[in-house]
Structure 1
Amino acid sequence: MNWDLATLLVLLVGVSTLIWLYDKLFLERKRLAAQANASKNAAGLDPSETVRVPLMVDLARSFLPVFLIVLLLRSFLVEPFRIPSGSMMPTLLIGDFILVNKFSYGFRLPVLNTKVIEMGKPQRGDVVVFRYPEDTAVPFIKRVVAIPGDHIVYHNANKTIYINGEPMPQEYIGTYQGVGSGSNMTGAEQRLEKLSDVQHEILVLPGRLSPGPYQEMIVPPDEYFVLGDNRDNSRDSRFWGTVHDEHLIGKAFFIWMNWDSANGGISWPRLGMRIE
């Protein structure tokens, strides 16, 4: 179990529900009886003093719907994340705030992360958020380049992916000009890569090797080989292996804000961009 925001929300919903039920089953009955007695009291006592709702009960009743709505939205519909590194440049920049579709690959129970309804499987080219296999408390974001059963080879020499013996086409676009926190990638080659039907941009440094123990493999069942779009500045499946289906969080689809203090704050052109 990961002690994260989802766990906290489940606990808050549970505690608030228990307080509300206890009040409904026991305390409310006593308040109604006290109100009835007060209304008959010849001494003229103020009935409002005898029916006051305890502060803890009042808070639980007020916040329970809020906690429940946030939990449902975050667990089953969308979840926000912030991009902290440049491993997905130029698709995602440092400081991008993104939304992740939580039901693209099935509905999972919060905290337990057990899939209860199958909705689909990741495809080549999908940008996915997942729990880092070596520390599942940490969310990672990469692009799926190979799916179960694929034979994948990554050639360092030409920075090309080969899937089932076929090279994934790349087209040179130009020299990349980085901004803000990503300015260190200025001068990298910017290429357009095609994975099945998905075209997306990548960055490569032709003179740099990206060694790792997993440059070639057949992807096991229910697992996915993922790479960063910033190919020579990403620790991904080449280093720590594949991502199991049970670690998937969802599919990234939308940039709702970018804040990079090294680039002057908000980058207005990136607001509302779709993630391809």
Structure 2
Amino acid sequence: MDIDFPLILLILTVGTGIVAAVDKFWLAKKRRAVADVLIEKHAHPDDIHKAETEPFIIEQSKSFFPVLLVVFVLRSFIAEPFQIPSGSMEPGLIKGDFILVSKFHYGLRMPVFGNTLIPTGEPARGDVMVFFPPNDSRYFIKRVIGLPGDHVVYRNHQLIINGQLIETTQTAQEPEDRPLKFLAEEKLDSATATVQWMQARDSLTNQLIIWAGPEGEWDVPQGHYLMMGDNRGNSSDGRVWGFVPEENIVGKAVAVWMHWESWSDVPSFSRNKWIE
């Protein structure tokens, strides 16, 4: 079962904030009043101290609330770190890359619910974006291919968007890799993406082919986006599960700040870069 961390953080922040506020405006005054009565009666100092002492839950809530609030604000409205979990965005992003996701590029959004509070911009074709797929609570990262209203065709390793063939230039083969990989540059509006296909065997003819991944034709509804992985032959993306609604957007991936594939490895900073 996936843990809904944003919801948990929201609940903890609101909960500790309420406890701290109730104590400040009500419970602390009651404790002070009880202590004043004991002082007038010349009670034992231990009893006075006990009356003044904050209960454990209040003490902990007041300690944690400022920290949780800062984390909540930074994570919800400024930036958030993520780790690349698979090879669907190869070769630009590989499994184990830690990336920084900007939360304000596409507007300040209400945490958990995703609705836009303050619009600051919209996704552009070619952006690398983190989002929730439809009917899935897991974070995904793919590239924006289709904008609202676009007509997108993907066949024979080529994209056609609104009737215009997207320029693709093969740049390299990786013969040392198995399976054999083919790299190409794809010129989109906001970026030049390096996409990847892999050699495979046709299940019917057993002939070697360059596997393009799922092909098809799509009309992107208003308020939605069509997302694809750069590793076109090995990516579960919008070609399979459909369009991403605007409210499912998390943010724009802007930089790689560390690579750490497993706990047994040493973290590396050699891949640090801005994401294009």
TM-score bracket relative to the smaller structure: 0.7 to 0.9
Equivalent residue letter for 2:26: F
Alignment match, 2:250: 249
1:39 offset after TM fit, Å? 4.2
Match of 1:204 among 194, 197, 205: 197
Distance 2:249 2:153 in 1: 23
Q: Aligned pairs, how many? A: 265
Q: Which amino acid aligns with 1:193?
A: E
Aligned counterpart, 1:143: 143
Asked if 1:220 is matched to 2:206, the reply is: no
> What amino acid sits opposite 2:149 in the alignment?
G
After superposing the two structures, state which structure 1 stretch, 236-245 or 169-178, moved more.
169-178
Contact 1:101 1:253 in 2 (8 A): yes
Alpha-carbon distance in 1 for matches of 2:133, 2:51: 55
Write the deviation string for residues 105-151 of structure 1: whole angstroms up to 9, x where unpaired.
1121112222222221111110011101142x111111011212222
Instruction: Name stretches of at least 5 consecutive residues in structure 2 with no aligned partner.
Output: 200-208
Structure 1 pair 150–57 and aligned structure 2 pair: CA distance change class (3 A) = same
The alpha-carbon deviation at position 90 of structure 1 amounts to 0.6
Which sections of structure 1, spanning at least 5 residues, go unmatched? none
| Residue aligned with 1:76, SS | helix
Distance 1:7 1:261 in 2: 27
Q: Percent identity?
A: 38
CA drift of 1:62 comes to 0.6
Tell me which stretches of 4 or more aligned residues in structure 1 moved more than 6 Å.
none
The 1:43/1:80 distance shift into structure 2, 3 A limit, reads closer
Relative to structure 1, the CA distance from residue 73 to residue 170 in structure 2 (aligned partners, 3 Å threshold; closer, same or farther) is same
- Matched to 2:170, the amino acid is Y
Structure 2 length-normalised TM: 0.87
SS at match of 1:269: coil
Q: Distance in 2 between matches of 1:238 and 1:42?
A: 78
Please provide the CA RMSD for this pair: 2.4
TM-score where L is the length of structure 1: 0.87
Distance 1:261 1:153, change over 3 A: same
Equivalent residue number for residue 6 of structure 1? 6
Query: Counterparts of 1:155 and 1:66 in 2: how far apart (Å)?
Result: 51
SS at match of 2:169: strand
1:92-111 pair list within 5 angstroms:
92-111=93-112
Instruction: Say if 2:226 and 2:242, in contact at 8 Å, map to a contact too.
Output: yes
**Which residue does 2:202 correspond to in 1?**
none
Cα shift readout 1:169-221 (whole Å, capped 9, x = no counterpart): 1222212378xxxx656x31111211124212111236234454x61122221
Is the aligned partner of 1:56 residue 2:57? yes
CA contact (8 A) 2:99 2:256 kept: yes
**Residues 261/63 of structure 1: CA separation in 2 closer, same or farther (3 Å cut):** closer
Residue in 2 that maps onto 1:164: 162
Q: Secondary structure at the match of 1:230?
A: coil
Distance in structure 1 (CA, Å) of the matches to 2:74 and 2:213 = 40
